[in-house]
Structure 1
């Protein structure tokens, strides 16, 4: 069927060409199209027309074949010629947009789309594509809202617009957009997944549970399970909250939020032993292995500002999350060079050396620590 439609498209576009003196072997051209040999089709057409041809149909057909063959510079060249002849031709402008998009030239692509909108202010496809080129939520919102106004049932636009609204914490607007689109496609699981998350923000917990449970029958999505678990907690069905989050934990996709709700659920069920276990798991999950390094960075900033007491507090806070050679060494230097507390400096130089720093990578620091310990040994 697709091949037949393509053939009819080709014949239609060459209807006027056949009436001219140029003789086209339609059977050969059809074979090229059916076998997707677009490069050969382009070469064949180019052999029939002079390079400076002004025939709009010939130019657009050669451009199309080159575009389908991936020969984008050649395709753009022909479309640009056609655009000069017919500057307000929407299909040509869309083709030029497509070519520049594929080549990563977003500036040109956006320029052509803006031209399309000036010619046709209700062109849904142009607004949809422009939204994809915007980086800021506000920029995307402008074009997505317009596209959604033109076609409220389009699932892609509804999804993108709802996601932007959610990012901006405009949950009711996201919810309304999704409900309208879902009414036209009640089996769209992707839209339902976003709806579950949005409804959760709005406190529509029964809807989250109802829609979410249906989604889980199709696919056990971790994000949906996360939302359902929260909903069960807020409707005080603590056993189901725990059951949902237990599945996530067993799959290794728990996070500090799911563990936290489990701790609270066990507490509400007066199972305090398990509540304590999951409270500790929550804390452990929330702490990154890089946390000491982050505190070291913060302390370093304080040092640069000569706020040595604040730096000291930040370094010591970092050590509460685990041992750190960086912090031990920096603390030793702080006590040694700025706070003039040699005994404390020796303590932290020693801790640095005992924590097994990398011998080759930290050779200079190791040598310095050892030398300073000797120098400070006799200091009172």
Structure 2
């Protein structure tokens, strides 16, 4: 209401400056249009008085505003465009033109208008926020990150920008930066549940599992958000509270919100509890859920579950099925150990040890496995 009254006062003051038309304007009628939010009528009324060829900046701005509020973006852009020609550095005009073009899908034009504002007022928080929203992915254009960083620097407590910036940092796997941005914003607004939810997957990545559980359980009392359930369940898994993890993951399954990841962690949890039948069931569900680059890893897990449950024929079939999707170093090593220690088939074991070394395993992460494979190959060759 205060904003409306201020606008009306400004209109009243500006109208007094138009000597040639002042007597023609019915101020009470115009006031009634605004008070009842009949902006289209107000626009047509002013347009009828001042005509199409008006070249007064204030009049053009007023008519443009009326059309904008009425949702007539075509007419609004026409009048704002004329006002822009007269005063190209007017921030209200630039903001209006940027907004109109954003609504109409003319993203490139909107970027130009908002960029002009940034040149005029380099500390304008709103324009950097608006510019950032015009870029869909930081992977395709680094300007999104640049604008979010600038906006966040100006106002680190603003929640929308903090959440967006944290998401971009996370996309680049810069989890400490993402956590720091959200932490500052949350301190400024401790009741902001959106920010608290956004922080959970970041905290999980940083292995702050106790924080995820404490914060997540509070959030779950407010509402059973699927993302929160998943993050808390993962934190329980990593802290070896496997049954609690399973209970939460199954909540998602009941409401048909489970996915490849939740099914996989459910399988891992059952395996940790040595419930191999359920581990096998959920690993098969994981495989059915998605054929992805991780499918070979899932078959590797399924083979391991079968092997640990002494279902050796099924284990062999699962390992080999995984190779059909992607021949990974892990699968070759598992098959080598399987044939060597479980089936006592030294010829096949030697074959898979050699394939493992040829698959170029990580010299740092798989140092022990590489050494063991080389030693075992030497022993098996001597046995021949």
TM-score normalized by the length of structure 2? 0.71
Q: Which moved more, 1:87-96 or 1:66-75?
A: 66-75
> 1:10 matched to which residue of 2?
8
Alignment check: 8 A CA contact 2:12 2:27 kept: no
Match of 1:14, SS state, is helix
Q: How big is the alpha-carbon RMSD for the aligned residues of Structure 1 and Structure 2? A: 2.3
Output one character per residue of 1:214-239: Cα deviation in whole Å (capped at 9) or x when no partner. 11111111121111111101111112
> Is 1:53 aligned to 2:61, yes or no?
no
Alignment check: 8 A CA contact 2:204 2:231 kept: yes
> 2:253 matched to which residue of 1?
249
Structure 1 residue 262: Cα displacement: 2.2
- Give the alignment of 1:271-290 within 5 angstroms: 271-287=275-291
- Give the alignment of 1:306-325 within 5 angstroms: none
Alpha-carbon distance change, 31 to 205 in structure 1, aligned in 2, over 3 angstroms:
same
Structure 1 residue 165: Cα displacement: 1.0
Match of 2:252, SS state, is helix
Runs of 4+ in 1 over 6 A off after TM superposition: none
Correspondent of 1:199 among 176, 182, 203: 203
- Give the alignment of 1:292-303 within 5 angstroms: none
> 1:328 matched to which residue of 2?
none
- Give the alignment of 1:126-165 within 5 angstroms: 126-137=127-138, 138-165=142-169
Structure 1 residue 85: Cα displacement: 2.1
Structure 1 residue 175: Cα displacement: 0.6
Match of 1:70, SS state, is coil
How far, CA to CA, are the matches of 1:73 and 1:38 in structure 2? 15
Gaps of 5+ in 2: 296-320, 326-384
Alignment check: 8 A CA contact 1:222 1:253 kept: yes
Q: Which moved more, 1:246-255 or 1:36-45?
A: 246-255
> 2:82 matched to which residue of 1?
81
Alignment check: 8 A CA contact 1:14 1:57 kept: no
Structure 1 residue 31: Cα displacement: 1.2
Alignment check: 8 A CA contact 1:38 1:68 kept: yes
How far, CA to CA, are the matches of 1:28 and 1:286 in structure 2? 64
Aligned length: 292
Structure 1 residue 77: Cα displacement: 2.0
Structure 1 residue 147: Cα displacement: 0.6
Structure 1 residue 20: Cα displacement: 4.2
Structure 1 residue 317: Cα displacement: 5.0
> 1:92 matched to which residue of 2?
93
Alpha-carbon distance change, 278 to 104 in structure 1, aligned in 2, over 3 angstroms:
closer
Correspondent of 1:177 among 176, 181, 197: 181
How far, CA to CA, are the matches of 1:262 and 1:19 in structure 2? 73
> 1:37 matched to which residue of 2?
38
Structure 1 residue 5: Cα displacement: 3.2
> 1:113 matched to which residue of 2?
114
> 2:333 matched to which residue of 1?
none
How far, CA to CA, are the matches of 2:147 and 2:134 in structure 1? 10
Output one character per residue of 1:131-160: Cα deviation in whole Å (capped at 9) or x when no partner. 111244122111100110011011110111
How far, CA to CA, are the matches of 1:144 and 1:223 in structure 2? 24
